Amino acid sequence: MEKKKLILATAIAIPVTVIGWALFRPELLFVNQTVNEKLPTNSQSATEILATGQFQSYAHETKGEAQYVRVGTKSYLQLTDFHTSNGPDVRILLLKGTDSNNGKSPDRIELGPIKGNIGTQNYEIPAGTNLDEYQSVSVWCERFSVGFGGATLQAESPKVTSNNQSFQFQLIGLGAPITVTSGKVEGERAFAGSASIIEENNKRFVETNFTKIGSGSYQIRLVKKESLKVGDFPTSTPFEKIGTLVKNKKRFTASKSLDLWLYRSIAIVDSKTQKIVSYVNLRSDQERNKSLNFTGQII
């Protein structure tokens, strides 16, 4: 009887796993596709920058600049110094208004599938589009209705260049703080609280808010690993030293060179034993919601 139950459970688990893999495609998070495109200019075409904006992160870390550019009679969306995570069915959208995370909007204009998750790329904008109305750009995962990141563009004073001159413009700084990923403290009972990755005014922070900590000295490490557990620190795992743990809320500056979507955990390490005593598995709000929905559908 037990053998039959095991066979039945295995028969159910295999297709569920396959379906989950096919939907989520987790391996795409670690596969980068780089694109470096130039605008289709020629010696007779002047280039005019119409509006610019800076990307902010939503479900995945996204950074870089977006700009509306007119070349002759055509307009383009150009993404420069662009970087996001790869994923299934990711598209570039133009949205009305300033909400760059509203990819479900019926007024959206789809410019096509993302050409690459890294690098400079151009998307032709349909003729007749009123760019005064379409002020936002969304990097949108259609499969899960999740925004990876977005940018709100602000009109520029006209800057006209030839194809031999480089573009120059003022970047728009981010305003209110944005939570990229967050999570609750797990591990030993002597520790409680939460931690998160914050972006504010084009700067990054690891923010800890521990309501309870054990006696002793503890290091905070931002770890390039999906999840952690109490015990030995995982060998050969990349990590960044953030600082010393303190009680209550504290912000620590994080390097802008890190792909924060790949650094998925925070480890609290005993300074004497170098062992993990507590940890935080970092997730975005959208990611947690989608995971719960998927689990509910399977059950």
Residue 235 is predicted with a pLDDT of 87
Q: Which of 120, 75, 111 is nearest to 90 (CA)?
A: 111
At residue 168, the pLDDT reads 36
Model pLDDT, residue 154: 87
Q: Residue 4: what pLDDT?
A: 55
> What pLDDT is stored for residue 1 in this prediction?
56
pTM of the model: 0.49
Q: What is the mean pLDDT of each run of 10 residues along the chain (299 residues)?
A: 53 46 46 88 72 91 93 91 90 93 92 94 94 93 90 70 40 59 94 91 88 94 93 93 93 80 91 96 76 47
What pLDDT was estimated at residue 3? 54
The pLDDT assigned to 194 comes to 96
C-alpha–C-alpha distance, residues 42 and 144, integer Å: 40
Q: Does domain 178-288 have CATH number 2.60.40?
A: yes
Q: Whole-angstrom Cα distance, residue 119 to residue 223?
A: 25
pLDDT of residue 112: 94
* Closest by Cα among 270, 213, 175, 263 to 254: 263
Q: Which residue from 62, 64, 94 is spatially nearest to 79, judged by alpha carbons?
A: 64
- 8 A C-beta contact, residue 224 and residue 261: no
